Structure 1
Amino acid sequence: MEKVLLLHSSSDGQTVKILRHIEQTLGEGYQCELMDLNTLPVIDFNGYQKVLIGASIRYGHLNKKLYQFIEIHQKVLEAHKVGFFCVNLTARKEGKNTPETSVYMKKFLQKSPWHPKLQAVFAGALRYPRYGWFDRMMIQFIMRLTGGETDTRKEVEYTDWDKVSQFALRFKQF
Protein backbone atom coordinates (compact mmCIF):
# COMPACT_ATOMS: atom_id res chain seq x y z
CA MET A 1 0.00 0.00 0.00
CA GLU A 2 1.54 3.26 -1.14
CA LYS A 3 0.91 6.20 1.20
CA VAL A 4 0.18 9.55 -0.44
CA LEU A 5 -0.14 12.91 1.27
CA LEU A 6 -2.58 15.30 -0.38
CA LEU A 7 -1.96 18.87 0.76
CA HIS A 8 -4.29 21.70 -0.14
CA SER A 9 -4.40 25.45 0.03
CA SER A 10 -8.01 25.98 -0.97
CA SER A 11 -10.22 29.06 -0.93
CA ASP A 12 -13.65 27.68 -1.76
CA GLY A 13 -13.19 23.92 -1.86
CA GLN A 14 -12.61 23.19 -5.55
CA THR A 15 -8.96 22.30 -4.92
CA VAL A 16 -10.08 19.75 -2.30
CA LYS A 17 -12.63 18.38 -4.76
CA ILE A 18 -9.86 17.97 -7.36
CA LEU A 19 -7.63 16.19 -4.83
CA ARG A 20 -10.50 13.84 -3.94
CA HIS A 21 -10.96 13.07 -7.65
CA ILE A 22 -7.23 12.31 -7.93
CA GLU A 23 -7.52 10.04 -4.88
CA GLN A 24 -10.34 8.10 -6.56
CA THR A 25 -8.39 7.87 -9.80
CA LEU A 26 -5.35 6.48 -7.98
CA GLY A 27 -7.60 3.69 -6.74
CA GLU A 28 -6.66 0.58 -4.80
CA GLY A 29 -3.14 0.27 -3.59
CA TYR A 30 -3.02 3.89 -2.48
CA GLN A 31 -3.79 5.19 0.98
CA CYS A 32 -4.31 8.96 0.79
CA GLU A 33 -4.33 11.44 3.63
CA LEU A 34 -5.73 14.94 3.07
CA MET A 35 -4.26 17.86 5.01
CA ASP A 36 -4.81 21.63 5.01
CA LEU A 37 -1.49 23.22 4.12
CA ASN A 38 -2.73 26.61 5.39
CA THR A 39 -2.45 25.36 8.97
CA LEU A 40 1.30 24.87 8.41
CA PRO A 41 1.15 21.29 9.69
CA VAL A 42 4.19 19.48 11.03
CA ILE A 43 4.68 16.55 8.68
CA ASP A 44 6.91 13.50 8.73
CA PHE A 45 7.43 13.19 4.98
CA ASN A 46 9.17 9.84 5.47
CA GLY A 47 5.76 8.33 6.16
CA TYR A 48 4.69 8.97 2.56
CA GLN A 49 5.94 7.66 -0.78
CA LYS A 50 4.44 10.61 -2.69
CA VAL A 51 3.05 14.05 -1.94
CA LEU A 52 0.70 16.16 -4.03
CA ILE A 53 0.10 19.85 -3.33
CA GLY A 54 -2.90 21.67 -4.76
CA ALA A 55 -3.30 25.42 -4.34
CA SER A 56 -5.93 27.87 -5.51
CA ILE A 57 -5.55 31.40 -6.79
CA ARG A 58 -7.61 34.11 -5.13
CA TYR A 59 -7.52 37.66 -6.51
CA GLY A 60 -4.44 36.81 -8.55
CA HIS A 61 -2.37 35.29 -5.75
CA LEU A 62 -1.59 32.01 -4.08
CA ASN A 63 -1.99 31.98 -0.31
CA LYS A 64 1.07 33.26 1.58
CA LYS A 65 0.92 30.14 3.74
CA LEU A 66 1.93 28.09 0.68
CA TYR A 67 5.17 30.04 0.38
CA GLN A 68 5.77 29.76 4.14
CA PHE A 69 5.24 26.01 3.92
CA ILE A 70 7.69 25.76 1.02
CA GLU A 71 10.26 27.83 2.90
CA ILE A 72 10.00 25.53 5.93
CA HIS A 73 10.06 22.27 3.93
CA GLN A 74 12.02 23.13 0.77
CA LYS A 75 14.77 20.53 1.23
CA VAL A 76 12.27 17.76 1.96
CA LEU A 77 10.11 18.76 -1.02
CA GLU A 78 13.13 18.57 -3.30
CA ALA A 79 14.15 15.15 -1.94
CA HIS A 80 10.72 13.47 -2.28
CA LYS A 81 8.31 12.75 -5.10
CA VAL A 82 6.14 15.85 -4.85
CA GLY A 83 3.75 17.11 -7.50
CA PHE A 84 2.04 20.50 -7.59
CA PHE A 85 -0.99 22.00 -9.30
CA CYS A 86 -2.74 25.33 -9.11
CA VAL A 87 -6.41 26.04 -9.63
CA ASN A 88 -7.73 29.27 -11.11
CA LEU A 89 -10.57 30.61 -13.20
CA THR A 90 -8.28 31.94 -15.94
CA ALA A 91 -7.43 28.32 -16.82
CA ARG A 92 -10.94 27.97 -18.22
CA LYS A 93 -9.49 29.50 -21.39
CA GLU A 94 -7.43 27.57 -23.93
CA GLY A 95 -3.86 28.84 -23.94
CA LYS A 96 -3.92 29.70 -20.23
CA ASN A 97 -4.41 26.22 -18.84
CA THR A 98 -0.96 24.62 -18.83
CA PRO A 99 2.09 25.16 -16.61
CA GLU A 100 3.88 26.72 -19.60
CA THR A 101 1.07 29.17 -20.43
CA SER A 102 -0.42 29.97 -17.01
CA VAL A 103 0.63 33.38 -15.72
CA TYR A 104 -0.01 32.10 -12.19
CA MET A 105 2.26 29.08 -12.54
CA LYS A 106 4.96 31.29 -14.06
CA LYS A 107 4.62 33.71 -11.15
CA PHE A 108 4.76 30.82 -8.67
CA LEU A 109 7.94 29.44 -10.23
CA GLN A 110 9.57 32.90 -10.14
CA LYS A 111 8.63 33.50 -6.52
CA SER A 112 9.19 30.00 -5.12
CA PRO A 113 12.62 28.52 -4.39
CA TRP A 114 11.07 25.07 -4.98
CA HIS A 115 10.30 24.00 -8.55
CA PRO A 116 8.20 20.84 -8.64
CA LYS A 117 9.06 18.29 -11.31
CA LEU A 118 5.40 17.36 -11.88
CA GLN A 119 3.07 20.32 -12.47
CA ALA A 120 -0.45 21.01 -13.69
CA VAL A 121 -2.94 23.85 -13.95
CA PHE A 122 -6.68 23.29 -13.65
CA ALA A 123 -9.67 25.54 -14.08
CA GLY A 124 -11.65 26.06 -10.91
CA ALA A 125 -15.30 26.72 -10.21
CA LEU A 126 -17.38 29.86 -9.96
CA ARG A 127 -19.75 29.66 -6.99
CA TYR A 128 -21.48 33.05 -6.88
CA PRO A 129 -24.34 32.08 -4.48
CA ARG A 130 -21.79 30.82 -1.92
CA TYR A 131 -19.71 34.00 -1.83
CA GLY A 132 -20.22 36.91 0.50
CA TRP A 133 -21.36 40.20 -1.02
CA PHE A 134 -17.84 41.66 -1.44
CA ASP A 135 -16.36 38.53 -3.03
CA ARG A 136 -19.37 38.15 -5.31
CA MET A 137 -19.01 41.71 -6.57
CA MET A 138 -15.23 41.52 -7.00
CA ILE A 139 -15.32 38.20 -8.81
CA GLN A 140 -18.17 39.40 -11.00
CA PHE A 141 -16.08 42.47 -11.90
CA ILE A 142 -13.08 40.29 -12.75
CA MET A 143 -15.25 37.94 -14.82
CA ARG A 144 -16.73 40.91 -16.69
CA LEU A 145 -13.19 42.07 -17.56
CA THR A 146 -12.15 38.59 -18.70
CA GLY A 147 -15.30 37.65 -20.60
CA GLY A 148 -16.62 35.16 -18.06
CA GLU A 149 -19.95 34.39 -16.43
CA THR A 150 -21.43 37.39 -14.59
CA ASP A 151 -24.84 36.08 -13.51
CA THR A 152 -24.49 35.99 -9.71
CA ARG A 153 -27.27 33.38 -9.40
CA LYS A 154 -25.16 30.78 -11.19
CA GLU A 155 -22.58 28.22 -10.19
CA VAL A 156 -20.27 27.09 -12.98
CA GLU A 157 -17.68 24.35 -12.70
CA TYR A 158 -14.93 24.85 -15.28
CA THR A 159 -12.71 21.96 -14.10
CA ASP A 160 -11.83 19.54 -16.91
CA TRP A 161 -12.17 16.24 -15.03
CA ASP A 162 -10.58 14.23 -17.87
CA LYS A 163 -7.50 16.44 -17.60
CA VAL A 164 -7.45 15.90 -13.82
CA SER A 165 -7.69 12.13 -14.35
CA GLN A 166 -4.80 12.21 -16.85
CA PHE A 167 -2.70 14.14 -14.34
CA ALA A 168 -3.58 11.61 -11.63
CA LEU A 169 -2.27 8.82 -13.86
CA ARG A 170 0.95 10.80 -14.46
CA PHE A 171 1.25 11.27 -10.68
CA LYS A 172 0.69 7.54 -10.19
CA GLN A 173 3.66 6.78 -12.48
CA PHE A 174 5.79 9.61 -11.02
Structure 2
Amino acid sequence: MKALLLYSTREGQTKKIMHHIAQQLQGYECQFVDLHECQTMDLTQYDKVLVGASIRYGKLNAKLYQFIDAHIKQLEQVKAAFYCVNLTARKVDQGKDTPEGSVYIKTFLKKSPWQPSLIGVFAGALYYPRYRPIDRMMIRFIMKLTGGETDTTKEVEYTDWEKVSLFAQKFEQL
Protein backbone atom coordinates (compact mmCIF):
# COMPACT_ATOMS: atom_id res chain seq x y z
CA MET A 1 0.00 0.00 0.00
CA LYS A 2 1.18 3.51 -0.79
CA ALA A 3 0.55 6.81 0.97
CA LEU A 4 1.33 10.25 -0.43
CA LEU A 5 2.23 12.74 2.29
CA LEU A 6 2.21 16.34 1.06
CA TYR A 7 3.23 19.23 3.28
CA SER A 8 3.59 23.00 3.30
CA THR A 9 5.90 24.15 6.09
CA ARG A 10 7.94 27.19 7.15
CA GLU A 11 10.36 26.04 9.84
CA GLY A 12 9.74 22.31 9.51
CA GLN A 13 7.19 21.48 12.23
CA THR A 14 4.51 20.45 9.72
CA LYS A 15 7.01 18.11 8.06
CA LYS A 16 8.06 16.76 11.48
CA ILE A 17 4.40 16.02 12.25
CA MET A 18 4.05 14.32 8.85
CA HIS A 19 7.00 12.05 9.61
CA HIS A 20 5.46 11.16 12.98
CA ILE A 21 2.21 10.20 11.22
CA ALA A 22 4.14 8.11 8.68
CA GLN A 23 5.75 6.13 11.49
CA GLN A 24 2.26 5.16 12.69
CA LEU A 25 1.11 3.85 9.29
CA GLN A 26 1.61 0.10 9.34
CA GLY A 27 2.41 -1.51 6.00
CA TYR A 28 2.44 1.72 3.98
CA GLU A 29 5.19 2.87 1.67
CA CYS A 30 5.16 6.62 2.28
CA GLN A 31 6.25 9.23 -0.24
CA PHE A 32 6.90 12.74 1.12
CA VAL A 33 6.41 15.72 -1.18
CA ASP A 34 6.91 19.42 -0.43
CA LEU A 35 3.89 21.26 -1.84
CA HIS A 36 6.12 24.22 -2.64
CA GLU A 37 8.09 22.08 -5.11
CA CYS A 38 5.15 20.15 -6.55
CA GLN A 39 3.50 20.99 -9.86
CA THR A 40 1.26 18.07 -10.83
CA MET A 41 0.88 14.56 -9.50
CA ASP A 42 -1.30 11.55 -10.15
CA LEU A 43 -2.90 11.11 -6.74
CA THR A 44 -4.91 8.10 -7.89
CA GLN A 45 -1.80 5.91 -7.77
CA TYR A 46 -1.88 6.14 -3.96
CA ASP A 47 -4.11 4.32 -1.49
CA LYS A 48 -4.19 7.36 0.78
CA VAL A 49 -3.24 11.03 0.50
CA LEU A 50 -2.52 13.33 3.43
CA VAL A 51 -2.01 17.08 3.12
CA GLY A 52 -0.54 19.08 5.98
CA ALA A 53 -0.04 22.85 6.02
CA SER A 54 1.05 25.51 8.48
CA ILE A 55 -0.30 28.93 9.24
CA ARG A 56 1.87 32.04 9.13
CA TYR A 57 0.38 35.43 9.97
CA GLY A 58 -3.11 33.96 9.93
CA LYS A 59 -2.92 32.38 6.47
CA LEU A 60 -2.19 29.11 4.75
CA ASN A 61 0.34 29.34 1.92
CA ALA A 62 -1.14 30.12 -1.51
CA LYS A 63 0.67 27.05 -2.91
CA LEU A 64 -1.75 24.87 -0.93
CA TYR A 65 -4.79 26.38 -2.64
CA GLN A 66 -3.06 26.19 -6.04
CA PHE A 67 -2.38 22.49 -5.48
CA ILE A 68 -5.99 21.85 -4.43
CA ASP A 69 -7.35 23.73 -7.45
CA ALA A 70 -5.12 21.73 -9.79
CA HIS A 71 -5.96 18.37 -8.16
CA ILE A 72 -9.53 18.77 -6.90
CA LYS A 73 -11.00 15.92 -8.97
CA GLN A 74 -8.30 13.52 -7.79
CA LEU A 75 -8.60 14.64 -4.16
CA GLU A 76 -12.29 13.79 -4.31
CA GLN A 77 -11.57 10.34 -5.78
CA VAL A 78 -8.96 9.15 -3.28
CA LYS A 79 -9.01 8.60 0.47
CA ALA A 80 -7.57 11.94 1.52
CA ALA A 81 -7.26 13.96 4.72
CA PHE A 82 -5.95 17.35 5.79
CA TYR A 83 -4.33 18.84 8.87
CA CYS A 84 -3.39 22.36 9.84
CA VAL A 85 -0.54 23.40 12.14
CA ASN A 86 -0.71 26.69 14.02
CA LEU A 87 0.25 28.27 17.32
CA THR A 88 -3.34 29.15 18.23
CA ALA A 89 -4.07 25.43 18.60
CA ARG A 90 -2.01 25.50 21.80
CA LYS A 91 -5.17 26.90 23.43
CA VAL A 92 -6.75 23.51 24.06
CA ASP A 93 -8.98 24.86 26.84
CA GLN A 94 -10.65 27.15 24.27
CA GLY A 95 -11.15 24.35 21.72
CA LYS A 96 -8.84 25.99 19.19
CA ASP A 97 -7.19 22.62 18.60
CA THR A 98 -10.31 21.18 16.93
CA PRO A 99 -11.66 21.61 13.40
CA GLU A 100 -14.86 23.08 14.89
CA GLY A 101 -12.99 25.61 17.04
CA SER A 102 -10.26 26.60 14.61
CA VAL A 103 -10.84 29.83 12.72
CA TYR A 104 -8.17 28.68 10.26
CA ILE A 105 -10.10 25.52 9.37
CA LYS A 106 -13.30 27.51 8.98
CA THR A 107 -11.50 29.86 6.56
CA PHE A 108 -9.92 26.92 4.74
CA LEU A 109 -13.28 25.22 4.24
CA LYS A 110 -14.78 28.46 2.88
CA LYS A 111 -11.90 29.07 0.45
CA SER A 112 -11.22 25.50 -0.66
CA PRO A 113 -13.28 23.50 -3.14
CA TRP A 114 -11.93 20.37 -1.38
CA GLN A 115 -13.87 19.43 1.74
CA PRO A 116 -11.89 16.59 3.36
CA SER A 117 -13.79 14.10 5.51
CA LEU A 118 -10.94 13.91 8.04
CA ILE A 119 -9.35 17.11 9.35
CA GLY A 120 -6.81 17.59 12.12
CA VAL A 121 -5.57 20.67 13.93
CA PHE A 122 -2.24 20.60 15.76
CA ALA A 123 -0.30 23.13 17.76
CA GLY A 124 3.00 23.94 16.13
CA ALA A 125 6.29 25.14 17.51
CA LEU A 126 7.82 28.49 18.27
CA TYR A 127 11.36 28.70 16.90
CA TYR A 128 12.39 32.26 17.74
CA PRO A 129 16.14 31.84 17.12
CA ARG A 130 15.47 30.48 13.60
CA TYR A 131 13.26 33.37 12.49
CA ARG A 132 14.42 36.35 10.48
CA PRO A 133 14.56 39.47 12.72
CA ILE A 134 11.33 40.96 11.33
CA ASP A 135 9.47 37.65 11.77
CA ARG A 136 10.87 37.27 15.30
CA MET A 137 9.56 40.73 16.19
CA MET A 138 6.12 40.17 14.59
CA ILE A 139 5.62 36.72 16.10
CA ARG A 140 6.74 37.97 19.52
CA PHE A 141 4.16 40.76 19.24
CA ILE A 142 1.42 38.27 18.30
CA MET A 143 2.43 35.97 21.16
CA LYS A 144 2.34 38.90 23.60
CA LEU A 145 -1.20 39.75 22.47
CA THR A 146 -2.31 36.12 22.81
CA GLY A 147 -0.58 35.31 26.10
CA GLY A 148 2.18 33.14 24.66
CA GLU A 149 5.92 32.84 25.08
CA THR A 150 7.79 36.08 24.34
CA ASP A 151 11.37 35.13 25.23
CA THR A 152 13.06 35.26 21.81
CA THR A 153 15.94 33.04 22.92
CA LYS A 154 13.61 30.07 23.33
CA GLU A 155 12.32 27.32 21.11
CA VAL A 156 9.02 25.87 22.37
CA GLU A 157 7.26 22.87 20.88
CA TYR A 158 3.52 22.90 21.59
CA THR A 159 2.66 19.84 19.46
CA ASP A 160 0.68 17.17 21.30
CA TRP A 161 2.25 14.02 19.85
CA GLU A 162 -0.40 11.74 21.37
CA LYS A 163 -3.07 13.72 19.51
CA VAL A 164 -1.04 13.40 16.30
CA SER A 165 -0.85 9.62 16.81
CA LEU A 166 -4.64 9.42 17.28
CA PHE A 167 -5.11 11.34 14.03
CA ALA A 168 -2.71 8.93 12.30
CA GLN A 169 -4.90 6.02 13.43
CA LYS A 170 -7.99 7.71 11.99
CA PHE A 171 -6.14 8.41 8.75
CA GLU A 172 -5.04 4.77 8.50
CA GLN A 173 -8.68 3.68 8.93
CA LEU A 174 -10.00 5.98 6.17
Q: TM-score, normalised by structure 2?
A: 0.97
Q: Which sections of structure 1, spanning at least 5 residues, go unmatched? A: none
Q: How does 1:93-112 map to 2 (within 5 A)?
A: 93-94=91-92, 95-112=95-112
Report deviation, 1:25.
1.1
User: Which residue is equivalent to 2:70?
Assistant: 72
> Given the alignment of the two structures, is residue 51 of structure 1 paired with residue 49 of structure 2, yes or no?
yes
Report how far residue 39 of structure 1 moved: 2.1
Measure the CA separation in 2 of the matches of 1:138 and 1:164.
28
Letter in 2 for 1:42: T
Aligned-pair identity (%):
65
Q: What's the counterpart of residue 122 of structure 1?
A: 122
Does the CA-based 8 Å contact 2:25-2:172 persist in structure 1? yes
Deviation of residue 167 (structure 1)? Answer: 0.3
- Structure 2 residue runs of 5 or longer lacking an equivalent are none
* Corresponding position of 1:3: 2
What is the distance in 2 between the residues matched to 1:81 and 1:116? 9
Q: Which residue number corresponds to residue 82 of structure 2?
A: 84
Cα displacement string for residues 134-163 of structure 1 (whole angstroms, at most 9, x for unaligned residues): 010000000000000000000000000000
Q: CA deviation at 1:46?
A: 2.4
SS at match of 1:34: strand
For residues 6-25 of structure 1, the aligned pairs below 5 Å read 6-25=5-24
Task: Spell out, residue by residue over 1:105-125, the C-alpha distance to the aligned partner (whole angstroms, 9 max, x if none).
Answer: 000001111100110000000
* Whole-angstrom distance in 2 between the partners of 1:144 and 1:171: 35
Cα distance in 2 for partners of 1:168, 1:15 equals 14
Q: Counterpart of 1:26 in structure 2: which amino acid? A: L
Amino acid at match of 1:97: D
The offset of 1:30, in angstroms, is 0.8
Deviation at 1:132, TM superposition (A): 1.0
State how far apart, in whole Å, the 1-side matches of 2:119 and 2:44 are.
Answer: 22
Amino acid at match of 2:11: D
